[in-house]
Amino acid sequence: MKTASEFNYLGRIFLLLIILSAMLPPAISKASDKNESATRIVLLGTGNPQPDPDRAGSATAIIVNQTAYLVDFGPGVVRRAAAALRDKGIRELYPPKIRVVFNTHLHSDHTVGYADLILTPWTMGRRVPLEVYGPPGLKEMTEHLLAAYKEDIRIRTEGLEAIPKESLQVNVHLVKPGVVYQDDNVKVTAFPTSHGDWEHSFGYRFDTADRSIVIPGDTTPTQATIDACNGCDILIHEALTMKFVNNSRRPNPQGFDLKKYAATYHTTTSQLAELANKAKPGLLILHHNPISLRPDKRPMASTPADLLNEITTAGYKGKVVVGHDLDVY
């Protein structure tokens, strides 16, 4: 029969093993890519502001040489990164390893995951600063979020978890058009976009040893996007379907002018067809579109087939696909 002290001793070891196993990345059953130095794109969130369970909020990962670079942190970003690790074997997206992030603009559907990205990987073991690049206002958002979670941070650093307080660091870098980041893997160039009343919004071009990738974020069609791509390998662009814009039965409790909104803030399928014919990407990936992957549940919504059909009918001649969460390109 075990004594109480023996039981306490064994119990503590058991508890320690549970805590340690929670901090380690889950076992990977297979490599996700034979050539792991090749640049890959992982679509973490292809949705829009709709709380669609099939499509997380805006977030895209570029993976180069065992390093992940993120663009935007919409709702669900950390869970999708964990899913990319668990389901696709993409070890670079083990959340504590994510440390370089870019933001196109501060709309909530691109930033609601920010607190999650700051705090969750930190509690799971990130001990280097999170480096975040984006428009003016990002610094204030960061400071407000850290202030909002002040008690959580106090309990985690001063309580039994004893996470070193100095390990929670977020370095915000405000961007302007031009090269905003460069390391051995990637050069990142920001360019201005045109997104309605937002004074500052940016798209990003990534140049790696084997690929050029352009992600404008939310924008009307602009010459800056065409110039940033200019025959790039991959352009990841939004597009509103005309079926969505012209749907008079779409719920609109505010009664705002959707056509004017679309023309001021976003890009339609026909506009994107024209833009992409000029930008000439090797592959056009569509994301952030008003579509449903389960049209049986939302019969009035556009489908992926509607989206593709509108783009090609509008005259787009290049290769185009509809992006889904966790697709890897």
Q: Does 52 bind Zn ion (CB under 5 A)?
A: no
Instruction: For residue 212, count CB atoms less than 10 angstroms from its CB and return exposed for 0-12, middle for 13-18, buried for 19 or more.
Output: buried
Stretch that binds Zn ion, among 83-91, 105-113, 153-161, 252-260 (CB under 5 A): 105-113
Contact segment (CB under 5 A) with Zn ion among 122-130, 216-224, 272-280, 302-310 equals 216-224
Interface with Zn ion includes 207 (CB under 5 A)?
no
The least distance separating Zn ion from the CB of residue 149, rounded to whole angstroms, comes to 24
Does the annotation mark 109 as catalytic? yes
Question: Please, which residue, 218 or 310, has the CB nearer to Zn ion?
Answer: 218
Q: Which ranges of 24-130 would DSSP assign to H, the alpha helix?
A: 77-88, 108-111, 114-123
Stretch that binds Zn ion, among 60-68, 75-83, 95-103, 218-226 (CB under 5 A): 218-226
* 88 forms part of the interface with Zn ion (CB under 5 A): no
CA distance 182 to 116: 26
Please identify, using beta-carbon distances, which residue of 107 and 243 lies nearer to Zn ion. Answer: 107
Q: Which is nearer to Zn ion, 52 or 207 (CB)?
A: 52
Smaller CB distance to Zn ion: residue 91 or 107? Answer: 107
Q: Minimum Å distance from CB 62 to Zn ion?
A: 19
> Catalytic pick from 52, 72, 109, 116?
109
Dihedral (CA of 201, 207, 208, 214) sign: positive
Between 205 and 266, whose beta carbon lies closer to Zn ion?
266
For position 92 contacting Zn ion by CB under 5 A, the verdict is no
- The CA-based angle 223-229-234, given to 5 degrees, is 140
Q: Where are the beta strands (DSSP E) in 118-233?
A: 130-134, 170-174, 178-182, 187-192, 202-207, 212-215
Stretch 106-125: interaction string toward Zn ion, x if CB under 5 A: -x-x----------------
Helix segments in 89-196, DSSP class H: 108-111, 114-123, 138-148, 150-158
Dist CA 305 CA 216 (whole Å): 23
Q: How far is CA 246 from CA 68, 243, 250, 272, 296, in A?
A: 39, 5, 9, 17, 20
Supply the minimum distance, in Å, between the C-beta of residue 49 and Zn ion: 6
- Amino acid letter at 22? A
Binding residues with Zn ion: total (CB under 5 A): 3
Provide the angle, in degrees to the nearest 10, between the axes of the packed helices 269-279 and 304-313: 60
Binding-site member from 218, 233, 306, 310 for Zn ion (CB under 5 A): 218
**At its nearest, how many Å lie between Zn ion and the CB of residue 262?**
12
Q: Would you say 52 or 109 has its CB closer to Zn ion?
A: 109
- Cβ of residue 37: shortest distance to Zn ion, in angstroms? 32
Question: Which of these ranges, 34-42, 101-109, 148-156, 207-215, lies near Zn ion under the rule CB under 5 A?
Answer: 101-109
State the DSSP H helix or E strand holding residue 312, giving kind and residue range, or none if neither: helix 304-313
- State how far the Cα of 51 lies from the Cα of 54, in Å rounded to an integer: 9
In which residue are the tokens 């014919």 written?
A: 277
Tokens for 225, please give them: 């996007």
| C-beta closer to Zn ion: residue 111 or 208 | 111
- Give the nearest distance from C-beta 195 to Zn ion in angstroms: 5
- As measured in angstroms, the least distance from the Cβ of 60 to Zn ion is 12
Binding segment for Zn ion (CB under 5 A), chosen from 28-36, 167-175, 215-223, 309-317, is 215-223
246 Cβ contact list (under 8 Å, min separation 6): none
Catalytic residues: 109
Binding site for Zn ion (CB under 5 A): 107, 109, 218
